[in-house]
Structure 1
C-alpha cells in the first residue's frame, strides 16, 4: 500500500511540473520566441530548423516519460493487489459483501450431517505414555491358581447352515445368516450353539473365505499363548516385535502370527521383508490367507482380531496388535499385568479423547469413515435397544468409557470372553466395520442380559497402551 502512495505522489509531481512548463511556454510567447518566436524568424534557416526539432524532441520525450510513469503505476498497482489482496486496498467492499452474505443465509438451517469438511486435518494432540509397573522378569511369573474361576458354560459354533429356506440360498456368508431371534438368544451366557464366523454353506458350495493351508492350521493348533496381527490390502509396513525386549521363554513358548493376503506378502517381499525357509520374518510367522471373506479390508481384519479363540483352538491367552503398532514388551509380562493382577478375563484400553458413543458417531461421520446412512441405521437400532449416553459423573457406570482404543487387546480364552468376542464380531458382520461403535452396546447388552453372571472386563488407560507398544501411522495409499 505504501509503495502505491509514494508512486502516486511522484507521478502527480511529475505531471504538475510538466503542466507548469507547458503552460508557461504557451502563456508567454516572448519566451517561446527564444526557440520559435519572432526573433528566430529573423535568424538563419538552419537555426530555425534546429529549434523546431528541439521542440519536437522535447514533446516526444515528455510523452514517453508520461507513458512510462503511467505504465509503472499500473504494474505496481497490479503487483500490490496480488500480494496484499483486493480487500486491503478497498476494505469497504469486503464489509459490504460480508454483511450481504450474512443477510442472505440467516434463514438457512444447518444440519449436523452436512458439515463442511476441513480443508486440512486438524492438529492432533500429543498423548504420552504413563508408568506401567511391569514385572522384572518372566522367570518369577506364576499363573494364579484361582484365575480360571470365571463363569462356566459351553459354547459351540454354527459350522454349516441350511439356507434353503432363505430368499437367496445360493450365497453362503462367512458370518452366516443369523436371524434377529438367534441374535437375541446369543446374548445369554448359557450352553448354546451360536454364529461366530467360519460358517460354511451346504455341500458343494464354495468356501466362504479366510482359507489357510493345512501346515499353518496344524501349527496354529499347537499354540497356547498367541500374539497376532494382520496386514490386508497392503495397508501397512511390517512392524517386528523388539526382539531384545522379548524373553527367551516367550520366544520359545509364544506364537507370533502375522496374517497377510497374497498382495500384502508380495508388497512386503518387494520391500525386503521375505520369509525364511520356515515362513518367519523375525519373530513373526507369516500365515497367508486366501479367499478373503469381505471386500472391506477393515472388516476382514476383524476376523483375526475378534476370533482368535476360533483360529487357535488350544490357546489359553491371546494378545492382539493392530498392524500400525510394534510390541516392545514381553507378552507374558503383559498377561501378568493386565489380566492376572487385575483378575480380569478381557483387557482393552479406553479411547484417548472420546468416551461416549454419540461423540464417536459424529466423529466417524465428520471424517467420512463410513457410509453415513449405514452408521445412522446401526446407531438408531442401538438406541431403540436401550443404549444411553455415557455419563462421566455417574459413579455406577459399568465402564470408565463406552469407546475403546481397540488396537491392543489382551484376553484369556474363557467362556464369557469368547462369547463377548463372538457377539462383538457379529455386530461388525451385521452392521459397519467401525468396531468402536458397537463395543459399548455389546458389553452393556451382554451384562444386562446376564445380571447374575459377571463378565470381568478391565478397561485401562490409553497411556498404558502407549507405554507397552510403539504406535506408527498407517501406510499412505
Structure 2
C-alpha cells in the first residue's frame, strides 16, 4: 500500500475502509435511539436476575455453614479418640485423693418472714447476696440449690415429678440425661447398636419432657412403651414448670442433676440437638478415669471441632 501524499489525505482504498467503519458507527447510533426504550426494560430484567442469583448464593452459603459443616470437618479435621475396644476392659479408679472432700446440704423449705404479706415461694428460694457469695467456697454448708418449697398450705414451686419416676431416679448410679420443653426440638435417640449391653442395663438414659412436648411426639409416632421408654430414653414427665422461659427451665436438669439423681456417681448431660453415638462408659473412662479428672465440659457446639482434635464430633452426632 502506498504512503500518504499529504497529512490529511489517504489513498482511495484506505479511505474506503475507514468510511465503512464510520458509516457503521452512524447507523448504530441511529439504531440505539430506536431501541432506547426497550433497553430500559432490559435493565430491569437484568437487575431482577442479579438479585435472584445473589439470593440463591446467600441461601447456599447458609446451607453449607449449617449442614455442610460436618462434612467439611470430616475432610479437614480427622478425629481420632483412643477409646477402649469394649467396656469389659474398664478400670474405674478407686479414689480421687486430689479432690477436696466436703458435704453440702440443701434448703428444702422456706418459712414466711414475719409481717411479709407479699411473700411468694420460689423454686430457687430467696437467697441473699451474702449467702450466694459464700456458696462458691468448697466447704460443709447448707445452700439454696433449687427445689425449695414454701410453708405448709402454699402451692408447689414447680418441677413436679411422679413418685414412680423419683424412685427410679434414686437408683441411678450412672446417668445420661437430656430434656425438651415447649416442643422446641425433635427427639433424638441414642444409637442403640453402639451402646453395650452392660450400659443398657446399668446406665439410666432419662429424657425430661413436659406434657406439651409429649403430645407432639405422640402425634409423630413417638409413644412410650409399657416401660415408659422411647428407645433407650426413659421418659420422665415434668409438670408445673417453674419458669415461663423454657430455656431457663431447661437449665434445671442440666445444672441440678445431682438433685434429681441423688445416688448417681457420674452424670452426662446431652443437649437435645445432639445424638449419643458412643457408649457412655467409654466416655467416662476416656475423659475422667484415664486423666484423673472430676469434671469435663465442651465449648459451644458450633466450635466443638476445636476440642481435642474433633473428639466430641466422634462421640456425638449433630444432625
| TM-score, structure 2 as length reference | 0.78
Structure 2: distance between partners of 1:315 and 1:353: 30
Corresponding position of 1:162:
111
Aligned partners of 1:349 and 1:461 also within 8 Å:
no
Structure 1: distance between partners of 2:110 and 2:97: 33
Aligned partners of 1:329 and 1:468 also within 8 Å:
yes
| TM-score, structure 1 as length reference | 0.53
SS of residue in 2 equivalent to 1:349: coil
1:397-408 residue pairs with structure 2 within 5 A?
A: none
Change (3 A) 1:465 1:170: same
Corresponding position of 1:58:
none
Q: 1:172: Cα distance to partner?
A: 1.2
Residue 259 (structure 2) aligned to one of 296, 310, 320: 310
Residue 9 (structure 1) aligned to one of 13, 30, 45: 30
Q: Deviations over 1:320-356 (max 9, x none)?
A: 10000000100100010110011111101234778xx
Structure 1: distance between partners of 2:31 and 2:225: 80
Change (3 A) 1:177 1:260: same
SS of residue in 2 equivalent to 1:172: coil
Corresponding position of 1:325:
274
Residue 124 (structure 2) aligned to one of 175, 178, 202: 175
Q: 1:141: Cα distance to partner?
A: 0.7
1:470 and 2:313 are equivalent in the alignment: no
1:81 and 2:102 are equivalent in the alignment: no
1:257 and 2:206 are equivalent in the alignment: yes
Q: 1:79: Cα distance to partner?
A: 1.1
RMSD of the alignment, in Å?
Answer: 2.8
Change (3 A) 1:460 1:339: farther
SS of residue in 1 equivalent to 2:298: strand
Structure 2: distance between partners of 1:212 and 1:6: 88
Structure 1: distance between partners of 2:156 and 2:258: 20
Change (3 A) 1:6 1:286: farther
Q: 1:83: Cα distance to partner?
A: 2.7
Q: Any gaps of 5 or more consecutive residues in structure 1?
A: 13-68, 87-118, 355-404, 406-458, 473-477
SS of residue in 2 equivalent to 1:286: strand
SS of residue in 2 equivalent to 1:350: coil
Q: 1:124: Cα distance to partner?
A: 3.3
1:140 and 2:61 are equivalent in the alignment: no
Structure 2: distance between partners of 1:6 and 1:273: 75
Structure 2: distance between partners of 1:334 and 1:245: 12
Aligned partners of 2:182 and 2:212 also within 8 Å:
yes
SS of residue in 2 equivalent to 1:217: helix
